[in-house]
Amino acid sequence: MQSSVLTFFLALALSIASTAIAQQKTLPYNFTLSALNITLPNANDTGVPLVLGYEAYIIGGVIYFESTAASSPDGAGGDVPLGLVNGALRAYGRDGSWSTNASAITSGSAMGWFSSTWRGSPETNQFTALHAPRRHHKYATLAVHGQEYLWSLCPTGNNGGKNEVFYNISSAAPESETVVPEDCYKVTLQIVPVQ
C-alpha cells in the first residue's frame, strides 16, 4: 500500500513539475509568429507567417493588429523580431530598438499592438510560451492566460480585408462588426525562432 501511495505522489509531483517547466514567461531568443491551422490539414509544420499589420495612426502612436503576411501588403509594422519578457510580448525594430508592445487580450478581441516613442507603450503580463514535446509540435506555442487553443484567424473588412488573429472569438461578440465568427478557423500561434 505504501509503495502505491508513494508512486502516486511521485507521479503527481513529476506531472506538476513538467507543466511548470513547460510554461515560460521569458524566452532567451527573438522570434516571429505563425498561425498553424488546427481544424484542417496544413501544407507545412510552421503555418502561415504573421506580421504586425498597420491599422491606424493616432496622435502619439501607431496601432497594429497581428495578421497574415499575405493579407498585409503594406508591411508598415512588418515582419519584425518579437520577444517574450516577463509575460509581455514585445516587437523590436530592425535596429533592435523597442517601442511596441502587444495590448491586453480579452475574449473576442483581435491581437493588437501599440507603438509609441513619445509616451512609451504599456506592457501586459499575460503571455506564456508552451513547450509540449508530447504533442509533436516542432515549435513552442504562444498562450494567453495559459490557453493556447483559443486563437482564431479571421477575415476582416478592416483596412483592405486583412486576416487577423483573434482570441476566444466564439465566447464573446467580436469588437469588429466586420468579423463573422463562423468564417474564422482555429489556429495555434507557433513561436518560430529568428536565425
User: Is pLDDT of 5 > 70?
Assistant: no
pLDDT at res. 15: 38
Residues 27 and 85: their CA atoms lie apart, in Å, by 7
Helices marked H in the chain — which ranges?
A: 2-22
User: Is pLDDT of 173 > 70?
Assistant: no
User: pLDDT grade, residue 70 (50/70/90)?
Assistant: confident
User: Is pLDDT of 91 > 60?
Assistant: yes
> Is the separation of the CB atoms in 13 and 38 below 8 Å?
no
User: Is pLDDT of 100 > 50?
Assistant: yes
Which carries the bigger pLDDT value, residue 158 or residue 188?
A: 188
pLDDT at res. 195: 73
Percent of the chain with pLDDT over 90: 43
User: Is pLDDT of 145 > 50?
Assistant: yes
pLDDT at res. 153: 94
Residues 91 and 83: their CA atoms lie apart, in Å, by 6
Where are the chain's structural domains?
2-193
Residue type, 165: V
pLDDT at res. 93: 85
Burial of 37 (0-12, 13-18, 19+ CB in 10 A): middle
Degrees (nearest 5) of the Cα angle 143, 148, 153? 100
**From the CB of residue 119, how many other CB atoms can be counted at a distance below 10 Å?**
8
pLDDT at res. 42: 74
pLDDT at res. 39: 85
Burial of 34 (0-12, 13-18, 19+ CB in 10 A): buried
User: Is pLDDT of 17 > 50?
Assistant: no
User: Is pLDDT of 12 > 70?
Assistant: no
How confident is the model over 149-167, as a mean pLDDT? 86
Residues 150 and 53: their CA atoms lie apart, in Å, by 21
How confident is the model over 43-61, as a mean pLDDT? 86
